[in-house]
Structure 1
Amino acid sequence: MEDDAPTATKKIKPDRIDGQGPPKAGNSAGGDECLDYIGRLPDEVLGTIISLLPTKAGARTQAVSRRWRPLWRAAPLNLGAGYDLTGQDHKRIVFVSKILADHRGPARRFLLPYIRLRDRYAKIDGWLRSRALDGLQEIQFTYEIEDPLLPYPLPPSALRFAPTLCAAEFGPCDFPTEMAPLLFPCLKRLILYGVAISQDALHNLLSGCLVLESLQLEYNIGVACVRISSSTLRSICFSGPSRWERGQHNPTMFEELAIEDAPRLERLLPHDLSNGPVIIRVMRAPKLEILGMLSSGIAILELETIVFQKMIALSLTTSMRTLKVLALDSAGPNLNSVVDFLRCFPCLQKLYVMSQPNPDMTNKLSYDPLDPLECLETHLQQVIVNNYWGMGPDVDFAKFIILNAKVLKKMVFVTVDSNSGR
């Protein structure tokens, strides 16, 4: 007769990866052992996760377990050497040197924001020449300007990553006066902020960017005219230097931006036009959708066949139907000027107006239904008025839009008090 006693069931322990020790006592619930699901992932996946962490957190993963110790050194290096790494400047120098010595690469990002130059040029150049940074995809390099009268040279070694860079930001620094032509076959985003660079060097740099999509040129010194032809650019943001930039009382002012041929350009974003340029010419941008902030600081604005002079349209016989979003800095606001823009951009959907108070402005324009504006009749859906004071010109402007924009869904007034947080 067979034994009726129940057969003891054998506990099946979850599989563990080689090198992974047994779970510690007390880490069970209801008899089931806790599973280390992350620890089960392949090394390649864990390396990718580590490379996405901030530098300090990525390095600390070496303490997780014996298996994790070699992963950080083998994962793509993400070296962010800002003040989140350490708030002490001298320690930052030590940490960067140690990380580059310990990590064998490959490198993904090297972010070196606001480094103090002092007597460290050779050390910084050595970092940039480190084999650990071979194949770098993203770089951010900016000096902290402690004495604006001194030179702050960009080490030429910072440009050795041209073949692999996908994103680059260079802040206050001096580009080499003589630059050999370089090709950037992978670079999609470029920011130049407060750099000193010659006009020829800038054009050589841009001509080597074969797939560039986003370009930001702000407060740079030494460039009077920028001419751009690019089959890949989608976004351009720009402004000129102030008259006191980097201790120069009379720097070369940014006079003109000329977009000669940009078949994929969608966003053209002037910023801080008090510093230039005073002339903006767009010869060909058939997909331009977003434009502004425009102001009377632009002496001449040419958009293909449309010409504005200090925010006044010289001809209303042509239009640009691709534009969907427009931002204007307008004294008053000046209703006549805004209506001219609406007439030139008949398919506009969103309008942003930065109002500059002018109590003497008269906004008594009447809407003629026999001469309708296509923009107001069928397209304009949202209007935002910033710096709204509620004076007569503000109120008249708001009334005109509300009464005549047939498909308007939303109109927002940002008052002076809400701007200041009171």
Structure 2
Amino acid sequence: MGAKRTRLKEEESGGLLQPVGPDLISRLPDEVLGDIISLLSTGEGARTQAISRRWRPLWRAAPLNLEGGDYPRRKSKRAAWVTKILSEHAGPGRCFNLYGFCLHERYAMVDGWLRSGSLTGLQEIDFSGADFSESRRPQPMPPSALRFAATLRFAWFSSCDFPGDGDMPPALDFPHLKKLLRNVTVSEDALHILLSGCSVLEILLLNYSVGFSRLRIRSPSLRSIGFIAPAAESSVAITFQELVIEDAPCLERLLPLNPEQVPATIRVMQAPKLQTVGLLSPGISRLEFGKAAFQEMKALSLTTSMRTVKILALESLGPNLDSVVDFLKCFPCVEKLYLTKTMKNERAYNPLDPIECLEVHLKKVVVNNYRGLRPEVDFAKSFVLNAKVLKGMDFAALTSCNDKWMASQHRRLQLDKRASPGARFLFERAYRGISIPSFHMVDPFQWVWQDKLNSVWHKELNREFD
């Protein structure tokens, strides 16, 4: 492209006005243009070579992004397309997503791709979209994937066997890795060796990983940990049974992501900045926070309180309010409380024995799977009549929410006698189902309410009492 000034002219072939003017973009330094190209899809980045001679070497030198969404739709063309891109690009690499490639069929090919010089310096690697067959035993993770340890910032290893501790490099360090997501078979020793080499790790997500029974966390940087244990009927001999947070000074979120698939024991020894906890469920046989201990969600000891926790999500705690009250004593500064199943209330709140959370802190309560039956009404009414700074209480109802039912709920919940005059109460019809939080949201339980709403009836059935 030339830099001389010209005017708009009409192309005879198409009758369209084509702007022809000074090419200011091409005047930018190579480093800036390379950053621009690296933000494009793989195909678009490669096509910039056709712009002019000035652009031809830029794509080959810009950081390479091989994203799964950029691959050809036809599987028969994907492998050839990836091979061609890697052969033409000089590197370095930024992102490589193995979307749609089955290791059983292309193990040697994938291993060869990962050894390519085009991926040297890779920052993100993603096995999560790989086309694995559940009927086959997972393939070992290609050893070449570990050669990026020094540069990786994001890694998702999925559906493969991680190298055992005997096969791990003696000094495997990930000095820049901030996000580690895993769905693999890995031994306990190998897992701890891996985590000990992640000095700046902030997010750890373990979904259905097997091969270890106990995970110990000692991390100066970890901020979020989420996990789903294998299903109870899993045929795997060694499954995730115990999580111990020994020392995590920056940990803010502890998220069991499926209330039906959790380790039997969770112990939190040192987590002074913990802010978000849940979904806690009866599937956790033993739960400890400092010296506070719960057995199947019933308090054994409440000698420790964690005042940093602001968001708490609880699965079914029946048959009475006692369990909820005990958790609010353990976490006295909770501001948002999510209850994914309603429960009975067999005791009245005693104002002579006030609960700090209800008196000073609790601002939002969400009750899911609400039918409006007497035990559920009595339970919910405890918050209506005693949460003094409550701003809102949402009910995801398993009923039609017609006018008659709504009027009955208004009366039975004694909304006219609410402890917090400014509190608003919202009823919406919602679908039944397990509520699994979103690991990536600021408030990971927010969608438990929002996503279950029947959007067709949302406007018609929305009710607020002033």
Shorter-chain TM-score: which interval? 0.7 to 0.9
Change in 2 beyond 3 A, CA 1:250/1:158: closer
The one-letter amino acid paired with 1:134 is T
**Which of 237, 246, 249 is equivalent to 1:251?**
237
Change (3 A) 1:353 1:124: same
Q: In the alignment, residue 352 of structure 2 is paired with which amino acid?
A: L
Whole-Å Cα distance in 1 between the matches of residues 120 and 233 of structure 2? 38
Counterpart code for 2:430: S
Deviations 1:182-233 (A, max 9, x none): 111111110012x111111111111111111111111011110111111111
Alignment pair present for 1:260 and 2:250: no
Partner of residue 376, structure 2: 394
Whole-angstrom distance in 2 between the partners of 1:72 and 1:297: 52
Whole-Å Cα distance in 2 between the matches of residues 313 and 55 of structure 1? 55
Q: Relative to structure 1, is the Cα distance of residues 369 and 331 closer, same or farther in structure 2, using a 3 angstrom cutoff? A: closer
Q: Does 1:138 align with 2:88?
A: no
Cα deviation for residue 330 of structure 1 reads 1.4
Residues in 1 aligned to 2:139 and 2:76: alpha-carbon distance in whole angstroms: 19
Q: How does 1:260-279 map to 2 (within 5 A)?
A: 260-279=246-265
Q: Report how far residue 239 of structure 1 moved.
A: 1.9
- Residue of 288, 297, 310 corresponding to 2:296: 310
Deviation at 1:62, TM superposition (A): 2.8
Identity of aligned residues (%): 56
Flag the structure with larger Rg: 1
What is the match of residue 409 of structure 1? 391
The CA deviation at 1:65 is 4.0
> Alpha-carbon deviation of 1:179?
1.6
**CA deviations over 1:294-318 (Å, ceiling 9, x no partner):** 0000100000111111111112343
Q: CA offset at residue 107 of structure 1?
A: 1.0
Root mean square deviation of aligned Cα: 2.6
Matches within 5 A, 1:126-205: 126-142=112-128, 143-177=130-164, 178-181=167-170, 182-193=172-183, 195-205=184-194
In structure 2, C-alpha distance between the alignment counterparts of 1:40 and 1:386, rounded to whole Å: 58
User: What is the TM-score of this pair, normalised by structure 2?
Assistant: 0.79
| Separation in structure 2 between the aligned mates of residue 317 and residue 151 of structure 1, nearest angstrom | 45
CA deviations on 1:333-376 (whole Å, 9 max, x unpaired) are: 742211111111111111111016xxxx6414322221111111
The gaps in structure 2 that reach 5 residues or longer are 399-428, 432-451, 457-466
| 2:34/2:62 contact within 8 Å kept | yes
State whether residues 254 and 275 of structure 1, in contact with CA within 8 Å, keep that contact through their aligned partners in structure 2: no
> 1:183 is aligned with what amino acid?
D
Match of 1:236 among 225, 228, 241: 225
The count of residues paired between Structure 1 and Structure 2 equals 397
Question: Structure 1 residues 367 and 243, CA, compared in 2 at 3 Å: closer, same or farther?
Answer: closer
Q: 2:314 aligns with which of 328, 337, 356?
A: 328
Is the Cα contact below 8 Å between 1:332 and 1:393 reproduced in 2? no
CA-CA distance at 1:23 after TM superposition: 6.1
Tell me the CA shift for residue 262 of structure 1: 0.8
With over 3 angstroms needed to count, the CA separation of the structure-2 counterparts of 1:57 and 1:415, relative to structure 1, is: farther
The SS at the match of 1:236 is: strand
Q: What CA distance in whole angstroms lies between the structure 2 residues aligned with 1:355 and 1:70?
A: 60
CA change 1:392–1:57 in 2 (3 A) is farther
Moved more, 184-193 or 409-418: 409-418
Q: What is the CA-CA distance between 1:282 and the residue it aligns to?
A: 0.8
Q: How does 1:331-346 map to 2 (within 5 A)?
A: 331-332=317-318, 334-346=320-332
Distance of aligned partners of 1:87 and 1:277 in 2 relative to their CA distance in 1, 3 Å threshold: same
User: Using a 3 Å threshold, how does the CA distance of structure 1 residues 329 and 147 change in structure 2: closer, same or farther?
Assistant: closer
- Measured at CA, do residues 378 and 17 of structure 1 come closer, stay the same or move farther in structure 2, by a change above 3 Å? farther
Deviations 1:45-68 (A, max 9, x none): 221121112222322333344433
SS at 2:85 equivalent: helix
Q: Does 1:418 align with 2:430?
A: yes
- Offset of residue 150 of structure 1: 3.0
Cα–Cα, structure 1 residues 95 and 224, in superposed 2: closer, same or farther, change >3 Å?
Answer: same
Task: Note the C-alpha offset of 1:321.
Answer: 0.8
Instruction: Report the counterpart of residue 215 of structure 1 in structure 2.
Output: 204
Provide the secondary structure at the position in 1 that maps to 2:430: helix
Amino acid at match of 1:68: W
Question: Post-superposition shift, 1:141?
Answer: 1.8
Other-structure match for 1:4: none
Aligned to 2:438: none
Contact residue 17 and residue 40 of structure 1 kept, 8 A = no
Q: Would you say the 8 A contact 1:243–1:251 is kept in 2?
A: no
Secondary structure of the residue aligned to 1:119 is helix
